[in-house]
Structure 1
Amino acid sequence: MYYNLCLLFTYFFLYAVIGWCCEVVFCSIPKKKFINRGFLNGPYCPIYGVGAIIIVSILGPYINDPVSVFFVGVVSTSVLEYITSWAMEKLFHAKWWDYSNRKFNINGRVCLRNSLLFGVMALALMYLVHPFVERIISRFSPFWLEVVATSLAVLMIADLVSSTLETLNFKNKLNRVSELATSVTDDLKEKGVETKGQLTQKIADVRSAQHELLETAKDDVQKHVEEFTGRLSEKAAFRRYSHSRIINAFPNMISKDDPDSLNLYREAMLHTKKIRKLHKKAKKQAKKSQEK
Protein backbone atom coordinates (compact mmCIF):
# COMPACT_ATOMS: atom_id res chain seq x y z
CA MET A 1 0.00 0.00 0.00
CA TYR A 2 2.73 2.46 1.01
CA TYR A 3 4.76 1.54 -2.06
CA ASN A 4 1.80 2.30 -4.34
CA LEU A 5 1.35 5.70 -2.68
CA CYS A 6 5.04 6.44 -3.13
CA LEU A 7 4.87 5.37 -6.77
CA LEU A 8 1.87 7.64 -7.35
CA PHE A 9 3.57 10.56 -5.61
CA THR A 10 6.75 10.04 -7.64
CA TYR A 11 4.74 10.32 -10.86
CA PHE A 12 2.99 13.40 -9.47
CA PHE A 13 6.29 15.05 -8.50
CA LEU A 14 8.04 14.36 -11.80
CA TYR A 15 5.15 15.74 -13.84
CA ALA A 16 4.91 18.76 -11.55
CA VAL A 17 8.60 19.45 -12.31
CA ILE A 18 8.12 18.89 -16.05
CA GLY A 19 5.10 21.20 -16.02
CA TRP A 20 7.10 23.86 -14.18
CA CYS A 21 9.86 23.62 -16.80
CA CYS A 22 7.32 24.08 -19.60
CA GLU A 23 5.77 27.09 -17.82
CA VAL A 24 9.17 28.69 -17.23
CA VAL A 25 10.23 28.31 -20.86
CA PHE A 26 6.84 29.45 -22.19
CA CYS A 27 6.76 32.57 -19.97
CA SER A 28 10.46 33.46 -19.73
CA ILE A 29 11.27 33.62 -23.44
CA PRO A 30 8.80 36.46 -24.26
CA LYS A 31 9.97 38.42 -21.19
CA LYS A 32 13.65 37.68 -21.94
CA LYS A 33 14.30 36.90 -18.29
CA PHE A 34 13.92 33.92 -15.94
CA ILE A 35 10.52 33.74 -14.27
CA ASN A 36 9.92 31.21 -11.50
CA ARG A 37 6.37 30.20 -12.28
CA GLY A 38 3.92 28.62 -9.90
CA PHE A 39 2.53 29.18 -6.43
CA LEU A 40 5.35 27.33 -4.64
CA ASN A 41 8.99 28.40 -4.33
CA GLY A 42 10.40 25.10 -5.58
CA PRO A 43 10.77 24.04 -9.23
CA TYR A 44 7.38 22.39 -9.56
CA CYS A 45 3.75 23.24 -10.36
CA PRO A 46 1.46 20.81 -8.51
CA ILE A 47 -1.44 21.49 -10.87
CA TYR A 48 0.53 19.77 -13.66
CA GLY A 49 1.28 16.82 -11.40
CA VAL A 50 -2.39 16.43 -10.53
CA GLY A 51 -3.43 16.89 -14.16
CA ALA A 52 -0.96 14.26 -15.37
CA ILE A 53 -2.14 11.72 -12.78
CA ILE A 54 -5.77 12.35 -13.80
CA ILE A 55 -4.95 11.98 -17.50
CA VAL A 56 -2.92 8.80 -17.04
CA SER A 57 -5.63 7.29 -14.83
CA ILE A 58 -8.55 8.20 -17.09
CA LEU A 59 -7.01 7.71 -20.51
CA GLY A 60 -5.46 4.28 -20.03
CA PRO A 61 -8.41 2.51 -21.72
CA TYR A 62 -8.27 4.97 -24.66
CA ILE A 63 -4.57 4.59 -25.41
CA ASN A 64 -5.32 3.28 -28.92
CA ASP A 65 -7.61 6.22 -29.72
CA PRO A 66 -5.55 9.46 -30.04
CA VAL A 67 -8.65 11.55 -30.78
CA SER A 68 -10.27 10.52 -27.49
CA VAL A 69 -6.98 11.11 -25.67
CA PHE A 70 -6.86 14.65 -27.06
CA PHE A 71 -10.45 15.64 -26.26
CA VAL A 72 -10.57 14.00 -22.83
CA GLY A 73 -7.25 15.71 -22.08
CA VAL A 74 -8.72 19.08 -23.10
CA VAL A 75 -11.81 18.66 -20.92
CA SER A 76 -10.17 17.18 -17.81
CA THR A 77 -7.32 19.68 -17.63
CA SER A 78 -9.65 22.62 -18.29
CA VAL A 79 -11.92 21.52 -15.45
CA LEU A 80 -8.89 21.18 -13.18
CA GLU A 81 -7.59 24.65 -14.11
CA TYR A 82 -11.00 26.23 -13.54
CA ILE A 83 -11.44 24.59 -10.12
CA THR A 84 -7.88 25.55 -9.09
CA SER A 85 -8.42 29.18 -10.11
CA TRP A 86 -11.72 29.34 -8.23
CA ALA A 87 -10.31 27.70 -5.08
CA MET A 88 -7.23 29.96 -4.94
CA GLU A 89 -9.41 33.01 -5.42
CA LYS A 90 -11.61 31.98 -2.50
CA LEU A 91 -8.60 31.18 -0.28
CA PHE A 92 -6.49 34.27 -0.99
CA HIS A 93 -9.03 36.78 -2.35
CA ALA A 94 -7.04 37.18 -5.54
CA LYS A 95 -7.46 36.09 -9.14
CA TRP A 96 -4.05 34.58 -9.89
CA TRP A 97 -4.42 34.44 -13.67
CA ASP A 98 -6.89 36.08 -15.99
CA TYR A 99 -7.66 35.11 -19.59
CA SER A 100 -10.46 37.64 -20.02
CA ASN A 101 -8.60 39.32 -22.89
CA ARG A 102 -8.39 36.05 -24.84
CA LYS A 103 -11.08 34.69 -27.13
CA PHE A 104 -13.34 31.86 -25.99
CA ASN A 105 -12.60 32.11 -22.27
CA ILE A 106 -14.82 31.09 -19.36
CA ASN A 107 -14.88 33.74 -16.62
CA GLY A 108 -11.22 34.45 -17.38
CA ARG A 109 -10.23 31.18 -15.66
CA VAL A 110 -9.75 28.99 -18.74
CA CYS A 111 -9.41 29.77 -22.43
CA LEU A 112 -9.57 27.76 -25.64
CA ARG A 113 -5.91 28.31 -26.60
CA ASN A 114 -4.57 26.91 -23.33
CA SER A 115 -7.08 24.07 -23.34
CA LEU A 116 -5.98 22.99 -26.82
CA LEU A 117 -2.35 23.15 -25.70
CA PHE A 118 -3.24 20.92 -22.76
CA GLY A 119 -4.81 18.48 -25.20
CA VAL A 120 -1.55 18.34 -27.17
CA MET A 121 0.34 17.85 -23.91
CA ALA A 122 -2.00 14.96 -23.04
CA LEU A 123 -1.02 13.26 -26.32
CA ALA A 124 2.68 13.81 -25.60
CA LEU A 125 2.22 12.52 -22.06
CA MET A 126 0.44 9.32 -23.01
CA TYR A 127 2.52 8.36 -26.05
CA LEU A 128 5.98 9.73 -25.26
CA VAL A 129 6.60 10.93 -21.72
CA HIS A 130 4.77 8.45 -19.50
CA PRO A 131 6.14 5.27 -21.15
CA PHE A 132 9.66 6.69 -20.77
CA VAL A 133 9.07 7.71 -17.12
CA GLU A 134 7.63 4.28 -16.33
CA ARG A 135 10.77 2.60 -17.63
CA ILE A 136 13.02 4.86 -15.57
CA ILE A 137 11.07 4.42 -12.33
CA SER A 138 10.87 0.65 -12.78
CA ARG A 139 14.66 0.52 -12.34
CA PHE A 140 14.38 1.72 -8.72
CA SER A 141 13.98 -0.85 -5.98
CA PRO A 142 10.87 -0.47 -3.76
CA PHE A 143 13.08 0.61 -0.85
CA TRP A 144 14.78 3.46 -2.67
CA LEU A 145 11.57 4.58 -4.32
CA GLU A 146 9.96 4.88 -0.89
CA VAL A 147 12.96 6.77 0.50
CA VAL A 148 13.08 9.23 -2.40
CA ALA A 149 9.30 9.76 -2.50
CA THR A 150 9.08 10.30 1.26
CA SER A 151 11.93 12.81 1.23
CA LEU A 152 10.44 14.73 -1.68
CA ALA A 153 7.01 14.74 0.00
CA VAL A 154 8.47 16.25 3.19
CA LEU A 155 10.26 18.96 1.19
CA MET A 156 7.16 19.78 -0.83
CA ILE A 157 4.95 19.98 2.27
CA ALA A 158 7.47 22.32 3.92
CA ASP A 159 7.46 24.44 0.76
CA LEU A 160 3.65 24.45 0.70
CA VAL A 161 3.48 25.69 4.30
CA SER A 162 6.18 28.31 3.70
CA SER A 163 4.65 29.54 0.43
CA THR A 164 1.17 29.74 1.96
CA LEU A 165 2.46 31.80 4.89
CA GLU A 166 4.35 34.11 2.53
CA THR A 167 1.23 34.53 0.37
CA LEU A 168 -0.80 35.47 3.44
CA ASN A 169 1.96 37.91 4.39
CA PHE A 170 1.76 39.34 0.85
CA LYS A 171 -1.98 39.82 1.31
CA ASN A 172 -1.38 41.63 4.62
CA LYS A 173 1.25 43.76 2.88
CA LEU A 174 -1.38 45.07 0.50
CA ASN A 175 -3.36 46.29 3.52
CA ARG A 176 -0.23 48.16 4.66
CA VAL A 177 0.14 49.62 1.16
CA SER A 178 -3.42 50.91 1.32
CA GLU A 179 -2.89 52.55 4.72
CA LEU A 180 0.33 54.30 3.66
CA ALA A 181 -1.14 55.35 0.31
CA THR A 182 -4.06 57.06 2.05
CA SER A 183 -1.63 59.07 4.17
CA VAL A 184 0.53 60.06 1.18
CA THR A 185 -2.37 61.08 -1.06
CA ASP A 186 -3.77 63.22 1.76
CA ASP A 187 -0.45 65.10 1.84
CA LEU A 188 -0.24 65.43 -1.94
CA LYS A 189 -3.79 66.47 -2.81
CA GLU A 190 -2.63 69.98 -3.63
CA LYS A 191 -0.09 68.46 -6.03
CA GLY A 192 -2.82 66.66 -7.95
CA VAL A 193 -2.17 63.22 -6.41
CA GLU A 194 -5.46 62.16 -4.83
CA THR A 195 -5.86 58.46 -5.68
CA LYS A 196 -3.76 55.30 -5.57
CA GLY A 197 -3.80 55.21 -9.35
CA GLN A 198 -2.34 58.72 -9.54
CA LEU A 199 0.29 57.83 -6.93
CA THR A 200 1.20 54.72 -8.93
CA GLN A 201 1.69 56.88 -12.03
CA LYS A 202 3.85 59.37 -10.08
CA ILE A 203 6.12 56.57 -8.89
CA ALA A 204 6.41 55.29 -12.47
CA ASP A 205 7.26 58.82 -13.68
CA VAL A 206 9.95 59.29 -11.02
CA ARG A 207 11.44 55.86 -11.76
CA SER A 208 11.59 56.42 -15.52
CA ALA A 209 13.20 59.85 -15.11
CA GLN A 210 15.65 58.79 -12.45
CA HIS A 211 19.13 58.00 -13.78
CA GLU A 212 21.34 58.96 -10.85
CA LEU A 213 20.91 58.44 -7.13
CA LEU A 214 21.32 62.15 -6.41
CA GLU A 215 18.32 62.95 -8.60
CA THR A 216 15.93 61.74 -5.90
CA ALA A 217 13.91 64.00 -3.62
CA LYS A 218 14.28 67.22 -5.66
CA ASP A 219 10.69 68.28 -5.05
CA ASP A 220 7.90 67.56 -2.59
CA VAL A 221 6.31 64.82 -4.71
CA GLN A 222 9.61 62.97 -5.15
CA LYS A 223 10.30 63.23 -1.43
CA HIS A 224 6.97 61.61 -0.65
CA VAL A 225 7.58 58.94 -3.31
CA GLU A 226 10.98 58.06 -1.82
CA GLU A 227 9.58 57.99 1.70
CA PHE A 228 6.59 55.89 0.64
CA THR A 229 8.60 53.28 -1.27
CA GLY A 230 11.22 53.19 1.47
CA ARG A 231 8.64 52.42 4.15
CA LEU A 232 7.17 49.66 1.97
CA SER A 233 10.52 48.01 1.24
CA GLU A 234 10.95 44.67 2.99
CA LYS A 235 14.12 44.49 5.08
CA ALA A 236 14.32 40.68 4.94
CA ALA A 237 15.87 39.50 1.66
CA PHE A 238 13.77 36.31 1.57
CA ARG A 239 10.55 38.27 1.98
CA ARG A 240 11.57 40.69 -0.77
CA TYR A 241 12.29 37.72 -3.00
CA SER A 242 9.01 36.04 -2.07
CA HIS A 243 6.85 39.09 -2.82
CA SER A 244 8.76 39.78 -6.04
CA ARG A 245 8.43 36.16 -7.12
CA ILE A 246 4.66 36.17 -6.57
CA ILE A 247 4.26 39.32 -8.68
CA ASN A 248 6.56 38.07 -11.45
CA ALA A 249 5.04 34.58 -11.51
CA PHE A 250 1.50 35.94 -11.81
CA PRO A 251 1.76 39.27 -13.68
CA ASN A 252 -1.99 39.29 -14.39
CA MET A 253 -2.98 38.65 -10.78
CA ILE A 254 -5.92 40.77 -9.62
CA SER A 255 -6.59 41.43 -5.94
CA LYS A 256 -10.31 41.03 -5.27
CA ASP A 257 -10.11 43.20 -2.13
CA ASP A 258 -7.96 46.07 -3.41
CA PRO A 259 -6.61 45.89 -7.00
CA ASP A 260 -5.25 49.45 -6.84
CA SER A 261 -3.00 48.57 -3.88
CA LEU A 262 -1.59 45.60 -5.79
CA ASN A 263 -0.73 47.79 -8.78
CA LEU A 264 0.78 50.38 -6.43
CA TYR A 265 2.90 47.80 -4.61
CA ARG A 266 4.08 46.35 -7.93
CA GLU A 267 5.26 49.80 -9.07
CA ALA A 268 6.82 50.59 -5.67
CA MET A 269 8.85 47.36 -5.84
CA LEU A 270 10.15 48.27 -9.30
CA HIS A 271 11.16 51.69 -7.99
CA THR A 272 12.93 50.21 -4.96
CA LYS A 273 14.75 47.74 -7.20
CA LYS A 274 16.06 50.60 -9.33
CA ILE A 275 17.19 52.51 -6.22
CA ARG A 276 19.18 49.45 -5.08
CA LYS A 277 20.84 49.25 -8.49
CA LEU A 278 21.76 52.92 -8.30
CA HIS A 279 23.23 52.39 -4.82
CA LYS A 280 25.34 49.49 -6.10
CA LYS A 281 26.48 51.57 -9.07
CA ALA A 282 27.45 54.44 -6.76
CA LYS A 283 29.42 52.10 -4.50
CA LYS A 284 31.32 50.64 -7.46
CA GLN A 285 32.17 54.10 -8.74
CA ALA A 286 33.34 55.16 -5.27
CA LYS A 287 35.49 52.05 -5.00
CA LYS A 288 37.09 52.70 -8.40
CA SER A 289 37.83 56.30 -7.38
CA GLN A 290 39.55 55.11 -4.18
CA GLU A 291 41.65 52.60 -6.11
CA LYS A 292 42.88 55.32 -8.43
Structure 2
Amino acid sequence: MLFGAQVFLWLMFYSFCGWVYESTLCSLTGKRLVNRGFLNGPICPIYGFGALLVIFTVGSSGNSPVSLFLSSAVLACTLEYFTSWAMEKLFHARWWDYSSMRFQLNGRVCLAGFLVFGTFGLVLVEWVHPWLERKVISLGEPTIWMLTGGLFALSASDVFATVRHVLRLDERLEGIQEEMERLLTEARAHGEHWALEANLAVGEIRHNAEEQRTQWRSRLRERFEERARGERMRALLDRKAFQDRRLMAAFPNLRPHRTEAWETLKHHLRRDKKDTEGKEHEDMQ
Protein backbone atom coordinates (compact mmCIF):
# COMPACT_ATOMS: atom_id res chain seq x y z
CA MET A 1 0.00 0.00 0.00
CA LEU A 2 2.75 2.43 0.90
CA PHE A 3 4.53 1.69 -2.37
CA GLY A 4 1.32 2.54 -4.24
CA ALA A 5 1.21 5.92 -2.49
CA GLN A 6 4.83 6.54 -3.44
CA VAL A 7 4.09 5.70 -7.07
CA PHE A 8 1.18 8.15 -7.02
CA LEU A 9 3.50 10.91 -5.81
CA TRP A 10 5.89 10.04 -8.65
CA LEU A 11 2.96 10.37 -11.04
CA MET A 12 2.06 13.80 -9.68
CA PHE A 13 5.65 15.03 -9.80
CA TYR A 14 6.23 13.99 -13.41
CA SER A 15 2.80 15.29 -14.42
CA PHE A 16 3.74 18.66 -12.93
CA CYS A 17 7.10 18.62 -14.75
CA GLY A 18 5.25 17.90 -17.99
CA TRP A 19 2.92 20.83 -17.37
CA VAL A 20 5.90 23.14 -16.75
CA TYR A 21 7.53 21.98 -19.99
CA GLU A 22 4.35 22.29 -22.08
CA SER A 23 3.30 25.64 -20.61
CA THR A 24 6.79 27.12 -21.01
CA LEU A 25 7.11 25.90 -24.59
CA CYS A 26 3.66 27.15 -25.61
CA SER A 27 4.12 30.46 -23.79
CA LEU A 28 7.42 31.11 -25.57
CA THR A 29 6.15 30.12 -29.02
CA GLY A 30 2.84 31.94 -28.55
CA LYS A 31 4.47 34.97 -26.86
CA ARG A 32 1.88 34.94 -24.07
CA LEU A 33 1.30 33.01 -20.86
CA VAL A 34 -0.55 29.75 -21.47
CA ASN A 35 -1.92 27.27 -18.93
CA ARG A 36 -1.20 24.29 -21.12
CA GLY A 37 -2.96 21.05 -20.42
CA PHE A 38 -6.28 19.28 -20.52
CA LEU A 39 -6.93 19.81 -16.81
CA ASN A 40 -7.33 23.07 -14.90
CA GLY A 41 -4.57 22.32 -12.42
CA PRO A 42 -0.81 22.42 -13.10
CA ILE A 43 -0.44 18.83 -14.26
CA CYS A 44 -0.26 17.00 -17.60
CA PRO A 45 -1.04 13.39 -16.65
CA ILE A 46 0.17 12.00 -19.98
CA TYR A 47 3.73 12.94 -18.95
CA GLY A 48 3.26 11.30 -15.56
CA PHE A 49 1.97 8.06 -17.05
CA GLY A 50 4.68 8.17 -19.70
CA ALA A 51 7.34 8.48 -17.02
CA LEU A 52 5.90 5.55 -15.06
CA LEU A 53 5.72 3.49 -18.24
CA VAL A 54 9.43 4.06 -18.85
CA ILE A 55 10.38 3.45 -15.21
CA PHE A 56 8.56 0.14 -14.91
CA THR A 57 9.50 -1.26 -18.33
CA VAL A 58 13.06 -0.19 -19.11
CA GLY A 59 14.14 1.79 -16.05
CA SER A 60 15.86 -1.04 -14.20
CA SER A 61 16.96 -3.32 -17.03
CA GLY A 62 20.52 -1.96 -17.32
CA ASN A 63 20.08 -0.74 -20.89
CA SER A 64 22.77 1.22 -22.68
CA PRO A 65 22.10 4.96 -23.14
CA VAL A 66 21.23 4.45 -26.82
CA SER A 67 18.87 1.58 -26.05
CA LEU A 68 17.29 3.53 -23.21
CA PHE A 69 16.82 6.58 -25.46
CA LEU A 70 15.14 4.56 -28.22
CA SER A 71 12.99 2.51 -25.86
CA SER A 72 11.77 5.61 -24.01
CA ALA A 73 10.96 7.40 -27.25
CA VAL A 74 9.00 4.44 -28.66
CA LEU A 75 7.05 3.92 -25.44
CA ALA A 76 6.20 7.61 -25.05
CA CYS A 77 5.15 8.03 -28.68
CA THR A 78 2.99 4.91 -28.46
CA LEU A 79 1.28 6.38 -25.40
CA GLU A 80 0.83 9.75 -27.13
CA TYR A 81 -0.66 8.12 -30.23
CA PHE A 82 -3.10 6.02 -28.22
CA THR A 83 -4.06 9.00 -26.02
CA SER A 84 -4.75 11.18 -29.07
CA TRP A 85 -6.91 8.46 -30.61
CA ALA A 86 -8.80 7.74 -27.37
CA MET A 87 -9.49 11.42 -26.65
CA GLU A 88 -10.79 11.95 -30.17
CA LYS A 89 -13.14 8.97 -29.86
CA LEU A 90 -14.36 10.02 -26.42
CA PHE A 91 -14.72 13.78 -26.93
CA HIS A 92 -15.26 13.94 -30.72
CA ALA A 93 -12.35 16.34 -31.16
CA ARG A 94 -8.74 16.37 -32.33
CA TRP A 95 -6.71 17.89 -29.49
CA TRP A 96 -3.34 18.19 -31.23
CA ASP A 97 -2.25 17.74 -34.80
CA TYR A 98 1.27 17.41 -36.20
CA SER A 99 0.13 17.04 -39.81
CA SER A 100 2.02 20.17 -40.86
CA MET A 101 5.32 18.82 -39.51
CA ARG A 102 7.74 16.57 -41.34
CA PHE A 103 8.10 12.95 -40.27
CA GLN A 104 4.78 12.55 -38.49
CA LEU A 105 2.27 9.70 -38.26
CA ASN A 106 -1.39 10.54 -38.85
CA GLY A 107 -0.83 13.89 -37.15
CA ARG A 108 -0.71 12.19 -33.74
CA VAL A 109 3.06 11.78 -33.19
CA CYS A 110 6.11 13.33 -34.84
CA LEU A 111 9.89 13.02 -35.00
CA ALA A 112 10.47 16.10 -32.83
CA GLY A 113 8.41 14.55 -30.05
CA PHE A 114 10.24 11.25 -30.49
CA LEU A 115 13.58 12.99 -29.90
CA VAL A 116 12.30 14.99 -26.93
CA PHE A 117 10.72 11.97 -25.25
CA GLY A 118 13.83 9.88 -25.80
CA THR A 119 15.96 12.56 -24.15
CA PHE A 120 13.51 12.92 -21.27
CA GLY A 121 13.53 9.15 -20.72
CA LEU A 122 17.31 9.02 -20.61
CA VAL A 123 17.55 11.90 -18.12
CA LEU A 124 14.68 10.47 -16.10
CA VAL A 125 16.15 7.01 -15.58
CA GLU A 126 19.78 8.03 -15.14
CA TRP A 127 19.41 11.06 -12.86
CA VAL A 128 15.93 12.33 -11.96
CA HIS A 129 14.14 9.20 -10.75
CA PRO A 130 16.87 7.92 -8.40
CA TRP A 131 16.83 11.34 -6.72
CA LEU A 132 13.00 11.45 -6.59
CA GLU A 133 12.74 7.94 -5.18
CA ARG A 134 15.07 8.83 -2.30
CA LYS A 135 13.29 12.13 -1.72
CA VAL A 136 9.84 10.57 -1.45
CA ILE A 137 11.06 7.86 0.95
CA SER A 138 12.70 10.51 3.14
CA LEU A 139 9.33 12.24 3.65
CA GLY A 140 8.18 9.53 6.03
CA GLU A 141 5.00 7.47 5.93
CA PRO A 142 2.58 10.00 7.55
CA THR A 143 3.61 12.77 5.15
CA ILE A 144 3.42 10.44 2.15
CA TRP A 145 -0.14 9.43 3.01
CA MET A 146 -1.18 13.03 3.71
CA LEU A 147 0.21 14.28 0.39
CA THR A 148 -1.27 11.34 -1.49
CA GLY A 149 -4.73 11.90 -0.03
CA GLY A 150 -4.72 15.63 -0.69
CA LEU A 151 -3.33 15.43 -4.21
CA PHE A 152 -5.64 12.56 -5.13
CA ALA A 153 -8.71 14.51 -4.01
CA LEU A 154 -7.65 17.61 -5.94
CA SER A 155 -6.70 15.77 -9.13
CA ALA A 156 -9.81 13.54 -9.07
CA SER A 157 -12.13 16.55 -8.71
CA ASP A 158 -10.24 18.32 -11.51
CA VAL A 159 -10.57 15.32 -13.82
CA PHE A 160 -14.28 15.02 -13.04
CA ALA A 161 -14.99 18.72 -13.62
CA THR A 162 -12.95 18.92 -16.83
CA VAL A 163 -14.35 15.75 -18.40
CA ARG A 164 -17.89 16.85 -17.56
CA HIS A 165 -17.28 20.24 -19.14
CA VAL A 166 -15.79 18.80 -22.34
CA LEU A 167 -18.64 16.30 -22.72
CA ARG A 168 -21.17 19.09 -22.24
CA LEU A 169 -19.21 21.25 -24.67
CA ASP A 170 -19.76 18.59 -27.31
CA GLU A 171 -23.49 18.68 -26.54
CA ARG A 172 -23.49 22.47 -26.79
CA LEU A 173 -21.70 22.35 -30.13
CA GLU A 174 -24.36 19.95 -31.34
CA GLY A 175 -27.02 22.43 -30.24
CA ILE A 176 -25.23 25.34 -31.92
CA GLN A 177 -24.89 23.29 -35.11
CA GLU A 178 -28.62 22.53 -35.04
CA GLU A 179 -29.43 26.22 -34.58
CA MET A 180 -27.16 27.15 -37.47
CA GLU A 181 -28.88 24.60 -39.69
CA ARG A 182 -32.26 25.94 -38.57
CA LEU A 183 -31.25 29.47 -39.51
CA LEU A 184 -30.02 28.27 -42.89
CA THR A 185 -33.31 26.49 -43.51
CA GLU A 186 -35.24 29.56 -42.40
CA ALA A 187 -33.19 31.77 -44.68
CA ARG A 188 -33.85 29.55 -47.68
CA ALA A 189 -37.55 29.33 -46.85
CA HIS A 190 -37.91 33.10 -46.75
CA GLY A 191 -35.69 33.63 -49.76
CA GLU A 192 -33.44 35.94 -47.81
CA HIS A 193 -30.55 37.66 -49.52
CA TRP A 194 -27.94 36.03 -47.29
CA ALA A 195 -29.01 32.43 -48.00
CA LEU A 196 -26.48 32.28 -50.82
CA GLU A 197 -23.79 33.51 -48.43
CA ALA A 198 -24.73 30.78 -45.98
CA ASN A 199 -24.45 28.14 -48.69
CA LEU A 200 -21.01 29.40 -49.56
CA ALA A 201 -19.99 29.41 -45.92
CA VAL A 202 -20.75 25.73 -45.40
CA GLY A 203 -18.99 24.79 -48.60
CA GLU A 204 -22.01 23.87 -50.72
CA ILE A 205 -20.55 25.73 -53.67
CA ARG A 206 -17.29 23.84 -54.04
CA HIS A 207 -15.61 25.78 -56.80
CA ASN A 208 -15.06 28.98 -54.75
CA ALA A 209 -11.59 29.74 -53.45
CA GLU A 210 -10.88 28.95 -49.80
CA GLU A 211 -10.16 32.60 -49.02
CA GLN A 212 -13.57 33.65 -50.30
CA ARG A 213 -15.31 30.90 -48.35
CA THR A 214 -13.51 32.10 -45.21
CA GLN A 215 -14.91 35.59 -45.74
CA TRP A 216 -18.39 34.20 -46.19
CA ARG A 217 -18.03 32.12 -43.02
CA SER A 218 -17.14 35.27 -41.10
CA ARG A 219 -20.20 37.03 -42.47
CA LEU A 220 -22.40 34.08 -41.61
CA ARG A 221 -21.17 34.02 -38.01
CA GLU A 222 -21.92 37.73 -37.66
CA ARG A 223 -25.40 37.26 -39.08
CA PHE A 224 -25.85 34.19 -36.94
CA GLU A 225 -25.02 36.11 -33.75
CA GLU A 226 -27.31 38.97 -34.79
CA ARG A 227 -30.20 36.53 -35.10
CA ALA A 228 -29.19 34.30 -32.21
CA ARG A 229 -30.39 36.56 -29.40
CA GLY A 230 -32.93 34.08 -28.10
CA GLU A 231 -32.65 32.63 -24.64
CA ARG A 232 -31.59 29.16 -25.85
CA MET A 233 -28.79 30.41 -28.10
CA ARG A 234 -27.46 32.82 -25.50
CA ALA A 235 -27.33 29.95 -23.04
CA LEU A 236 -25.46 27.77 -25.53
CA LEU A 237 -22.92 30.45 -26.39
CA ASP A 238 -22.35 31.97 -22.95
CA ARG A 239 -22.35 28.88 -20.74
CA LYS A 240 -18.95 28.10 -19.14
CA ALA A 241 -17.20 30.88 -21.08
CA PHE A 242 -14.14 30.82 -18.79
CA GLN A 243 -13.57 27.10 -19.35
CA ASP A 244 -14.08 27.50 -23.08
CA ARG A 245 -11.48 30.27 -23.26
CA ARG A 246 -9.02 28.19 -21.25
CA LEU A 247 -9.35 25.28 -23.67
CA MET A 248 -8.98 27.65 -26.63
CA ALA A 249 -5.74 29.00 -25.17
CA ALA A 250 -4.37 25.62 -24.08
CA PHE A 251 -5.21 23.89 -27.36
CA PRO A 252 -5.14 26.48 -30.17
CA ASN A 253 -5.29 23.68 -32.75
CA LEU A 254 -8.26 21.96 -31.12
CA ARG A 255 -10.57 20.69 -33.87
CA PRO A 256 -13.94 19.33 -32.74
CA HIS A 257 -15.78 17.28 -35.33
CA ARG A 258 -18.47 19.99 -35.42
CA THR A 259 -16.04 22.52 -36.88
CA GLU A 260 -18.50 25.24 -37.90
CA ALA A 261 -20.15 25.29 -34.48
CA TRP A 262 -16.74 25.49 -32.75
CA GLU A 263 -15.61 28.37 -34.97
CA THR A 264 -18.86 30.18 -34.23
CA LEU A 265 -18.37 29.72 -30.49
CA LYS A 266 -14.75 30.93 -30.71
CA HIS A 267 -15.84 33.98 -32.69
CA HIS A 268 -18.49 34.76 -30.07
CA LEU A 269 -16.04 34.39 -27.16
CA ARG A 270 -13.45 36.65 -28.79
CA ARG A 271 -16.08 39.25 -29.59
CA ASP A 272 -17.51 39.08 -26.07
CA LYS A 273 -14.02 39.47 -24.58
CA LYS A 274 -13.33 42.55 -26.72
CA ASP A 275 -16.66 44.08 -25.70
CA THR A 276 -15.87 43.45 -22.02
CA GLU A 277 -12.38 44.94 -22.32
CA GLY A 278 -13.82 47.94 -24.15
CA LYS A 279 -16.35 48.60 -21.39
CA GLU A 280 -13.66 48.28 -18.71
CA HIS A 281 -11.49 50.77 -20.59
CA GLU A 282 -14.39 53.24 -20.82
CA ASP A 283 -15.11 52.87 -17.10
CA MET A 284 -11.46 53.62 -16.26
CA GLN A 285 -11.62 56.81 -18.28
Deviation at 1:181, TM superposition (A): 2.7
| Structure 2 CA distance for partners of 1:64 and 1:93, relative to 1, 3 Å | closer
Find out whether 1:267 has 2:267 as its counterpart: yes
Find out whether 1:202 has 2:249 as its counterpart: no
Find out whether 1:149 has 2:140 as its counterpart: no
Q: What does 1:128-207 correspond to in 2, within 5 Å?
A: 128-185=127-184, 186-187=186-187, 190-191=193-194, 193-194=197-198, 195=201, 200-202=217-219
Q: What does 1:57-76 correspond to in 2, within 5 Å?
A: 57-63=56-62, 65-76=64-75
Partner residue in 2 for 1:248: 249
Query: Are the equivalent residues in 2 in contact too, given 1:200–1:264 (CA < 8 A)?
Result: no
Partner residue in 2 for 1:224: 226
Partner residue in 2 for 1:56: 55
Q: For residues 180-209 of structure 1, what are the alpha-carbon distances to aligned partners after superposition, in whole Å with 9 as ceiling and x for unaligned?
A: 3335555595145313555642389x8xxx
Deviation at 1:63, TM superposition (A): 4.5
Whichever residue aligns with residue 256 of structure 2, its letter is: S
Gaps of 5+ in 1: 207-220, 286-292
Partner residue in 1 for 2:276: 276
Q: For residues 72-105 of structure 1, what are the alpha-carbon distances to aligned partners after superposition, in whole Å with 9 as ceiling and x for unaligned?
A: 0110000000110111111111111111111111
Deviation at 1:245, TM superposition (A): 1.1
C-alpha separation in 1, matches of 2:144 and 2:243: 32
- Compute the TM-score of the two structures, normalised by the length of structure 2: 0.84
Whichever residue aligns with residue 57 of structure 2, its letter is: I
Whichever residue aligns with residue 224 of structure 1, its letter is: E
Deviation at 1:13, TM superposition (A): 0.6
**Partner SS state of residue 190, structure 1:** coil
Partner residue in 2 for 1:213: none
Gaps of 5+ in 2: 203-213
Query: Are the equivalent residues in 1 in contact too, given 2:14–2:48 (CA < 8 A)?
Result: yes
Aligned residues: 265
C-alpha separation in 1, matches of 2:55 and 2:217: 47
- Compute the TM-score of the two structures, normalised by the length of structure 1: 0.82
C-alpha separation in 1, matches of 2:235 and 2:182: 12
Q: For residues 25-78 of structure 1, what are the alpha-carbon distances to aligned partners after superposition, in whole Å with 9 as ceiling and x for unaligned?
A: 011111111111111111101100000011111222344611111000110000
Q: For residues 99-142 of structure 1, what are the alpha-carbon distances to aligned partners after superposition, in whole Å with 9 as ceiling and x for unaligned?
A: 11111111111111111111111122122322222232122111
| Structure 2 CA distance for partners of 1:232 and 1:84, relative to 1, 3 Å | same
Calculate the aligned-residue CA RMSD, in Å.
2.4
| Structure 2 CA distance for partners of 1:249 and 1:153, relative to 1, 3 Å | same
**Partner SS state of residue 272, structure 2:** helix
Partner residue in 2 for 1:120: 119
